[in-house]
Amino acid sequence: MRPVLKVVGILAVVMGLLWIGQGTGVVMWPRSSFMLAQRQWAWNGAILAGIGAVVLWVSRRRG
Tens of pLDDT along 5-42?
999 999 999 999 999 999 999 999 999 999 999 999 99
34 CB contacts (<8 Å, ≥6 apart)? none
Nearest to 8 by CA among 44, 58, 42: 58
- Whole-model pTM: value is 0.90
Between 25 and 62, name the one with better pLDDT: 25
Does the pLDDT at position 61 exceed 90? Answer: no
